[in-house]
Chain A
Amino acid sequence: MKKEQLAPMAKEINRVLKDKNEEDILQELETLVNEYGVNVDDAMRSIVRKFGGNVGQLSLQGGRMTIAEITGSEQSLDLLARIVYISKRMIGKDGDREIVGGILGDDTGTIPFTVWEPEGFDLEKGEVLLIRDAYAKEWNDEAQVNLGNRATWERKNPTELPMPERMPAQEVKVTDLKEGMRSVIITGRLVDVEQRTINLEAGPKTVISGVLADETGKVQFTDWSEHELQTGMGVRIENAYVRAWRGIPQLNFGEYATVVTDDGLPPVTDLVNSEPRPISDLESSGGGFDIVIRGTVLEIKRGSGLIQRCPECHRMVQKNECMVHGKVEANYDLRIKAVVDDGTGAMTVIMGQDITKQLAGIDLARAQEMAQEAMDMEVDQEFIEERLIARPVEVQGNASSDEYGMMLIASRTELMSRDTMAGIEALVAKLEGSV
């Protein structure tokens, strides 16, 4: 490493050791790093130890993060950031303890922060600070930076972090939502609102959750600070953020969000019938709530047709032997696990007994009969294959993803009857018109 690159680290060592000759320290650092190939952090630590300093006070290169890198599980992190928003709050049993909270920003994003012991913390909005030994945790499903009693901070010249006052907010539609988005602005109608109490480490907390719809689709939301929300209301939400559950993006907003009513929206009834979405789209957003896809059934997977389930846990079992509950008197069930492919992507669609009956024209009793006659449970799967493979279907439900790929639990599946000839005529007209 070049001497100029090592100089700020020597300075940092001297900050901890105090009153040493910086040139000597730089010399030692250079020897360790360049001649002996010691990594920079280790070299810094060993110099501090050699002079009897407190290694814990060192701000090491490995600990310095940008906001986008923070995941919410960092036990110690250093951060150079600007105060985007700041306010005081009273907490505690009697509301007599003061803390400071707000939003920090750098050129990679914004993140909420809390100073738990704010005595002497006199920074204001717009100022830049270097925080050392903070920790990050998830709070209301969002990563947050916490300054506890170990943390130290230092006012910096704002020119050290050139950036806009606030991250440019993103105005988005429901289908654009992706895990990790922050500073989201979204307008939609609340098609479902309910209050519920969830149990957090800190005790029970009341949140409002429900479903928001715009003309592109629907998304589940959680309001962590009880805004005035009612079913049917049109709202514009600013400063929301997105977390995903099994790949399904979910909208979250809390005390730093603003929620205003917006009545320029179509009524609920016009918003709840979603247009089909390409599977490639769902692959890139990770999933979707109550979405519709159209595609072709290309495979009926093993475990379709007549299956046996454990009466205790409803897991699929074989030969009355449950993985968890041992020997059981299994119940019969009927279902389909199909691969639906729309030419842009493919996903596994799970359909229960009712849909199986309606789609393949076979009910549980008939399926059992057939299996008994053939002395083979697989005949039902073959029966379903013959009826569904290569057929076009429209499927509705929640699409999620995990390491094994995308899966959709169908709430509705229909064989599509498409007017192919009209489609071909329209395409021919378009092609001939474009000569």
Chain B
Amino acid sequence: MIRREVAWRVFAGEFNASTLHVKDSEEERSPSYVVTPIGAMINRMFVVGVLTENENIGTDNEPMWRGRISDPTGTFYISAGKYQPEAASMLSRLKVPAFVAVIGKSRVYSPEGGKMYLSIRPETIVEVDAGIRDLWILDTAKATLLRMEAMKAATTIEEPSENALVEQGYSPTVAHGVMRSYQFYGMTDLDKYRSMVLATLKRTLPNTDEEDHYVPNLSAAEEIDIEERPDDMDQEDSVLDVIEELDLDGRGAPLDDLISATSRMEMDRTRLEEVINSLLDKGLIYEPVLGKMKRI
């Protein structure tokens, strides 16, 4: 059964404190996950916050929209380019500040050893009201506390394992994430997260004093100011799409057409050949006759 990746509810403070990026299997194109210090293992995520900035750092023809979304614990960075046309168009239309809900995939950019820049690649962005934001804070607080409880359970069990956690009543998904997290980060300072959740909840309640609700900054990541290049996967996906489009007679897409189509995507011939070779290796396309590529 194909299991749709669950959308994790996490606060920015927890997400940005992550320093572990994993793949669940060695298989090509298997999903990747950002593992947080308290057991969220995030491929897809659902966040609601305030859009405070949006700008197009690309060109008019080739837009790349960036946005910052704040929750009470920190900032989520989102970016949407030509591969996320709906989200990019939505980002271009929104006036800041605005409450928005974002459903998207966790993204990691690590230009050099050790450093990780975390962001969200949105699948969907919608404008919402304050009620939806408050509800998200409540649900996210509950989800966070549940994972903290599971982390704590993992430290009190003599030989912690996924099965042991499931036996204690945690879902297999939570148990799996918590064990991955525990093995990498060891015991996280849960009190820090407990204060973060409590302060966030209190700030959300109407008519409470602001002063003692300082939300600690737990972020490990640095702000992103590096322009991203679409990575290999993106290029492979778009070449696959183009092959399908150009395959008019069902006998494959002619290589010449492919070269001219991809040159418009700023992909030179050498790069195109690399991508094609990679797709051939992965068994995603084949060459039915010389000079034609067909999607499998």
Provide the A311-326 mask, 1 if CB < 8 A to any CB of B, else 0: 0000000000000000
Please tell me if B235 contacts chain A, counting CB pairs below 8 Å: no
Given A280-B173, A299-B124, the answer on whether A428 and B1 have CB atoms closer than 8 Å is no
Closest to A385 in B: B126
| Chain B interface residue bracket vs A | 35 or more
Q: In the complex, A389→B3 CA distance in Å?
A: 21
CB neighbours (8 Å) of B139 from chain A are 296, 343
**Given A420-B138, A427-B142, A428-B205: A404 in contact with B2 (beta carbons within 8 A):** yes
Q: Which chain B residue lies CB-closest to A247?
A: B1
Interface residue? A345 (CB, 8 A) = yes
Chain B residue contacts of A403, Cβ below 8 A:
1-2
Task: Take A341-B46, A403-B1 as given contacts and tell me if A392 and B135 are in contact as well, using a CB distance cutoff of 8 Å.
Answer: yes
Query: Which residues of B lie under 8 Å from residue A402 when comparing CB positions?
Result: 1
- Shortest B100–chain A CB gap in Å is 9
A175 at the interface (CB under 8 A from B): no
Could you tell me if B3 and A283 are in contact, using CB atoms closer than 8 angstroms?
Answer: yes
Q: Tell me the bound Cα distance from A391 to B139 in angstroms.
A: 13
Q: Is the CB–CB distance between A420 and B7 below 8 Å?
A: no
CA–CA, A299 and B4, complex, Å: 12
**A281 / chain B contacts, CB cutoff of 8 Å:** 171
Partner of A299, one of B8, B103, B174, B194: B103
Set of chain A residues within 8 Å of B6, measured between Cβ atoms = 279-280, 341, 343-346
CB-nearest residue of chain A to B9: A343
Confirm or deny: A424 has a beta carbon within 8 angstroms of a beta carbon on chain B.
Answer: yes
Considering only CB atoms, which chain A residue lies closest to B195 in the complex?
A: A431
Residues of chain A contacted by B5 (CB below 8 angstroms): 346
CB distance from A356 to the nearest CB of B (A): 18
Q: How far is the CA of A127 from the CA of B155 in the complex (A)?
A: 49
A378 CB to nearest B CB, Å: 11
Which A residues are closer than 8 A to B by beta carbons?
Answer: 278-281, 283-284, 296, 298-299, 339, 341, 343-347, 385-386, 389-392, 401-406, 418, 420-421, 423-425, 427-428, 431-432
23 contacts between A and B (CB under 8 A): A279-B6, A284-B172, A298-B124, A299-B123, A344-B173, A345-B3, A345-B6, A345-B173, A347-B4, A385-B124, A386-B126, A389-B101, A389-B124, A389-B126, A390-B48, A391-B132, A404-B1, A405-B3, A420-B131, A421-B206, A424-B141, A428-B198, A431-B145
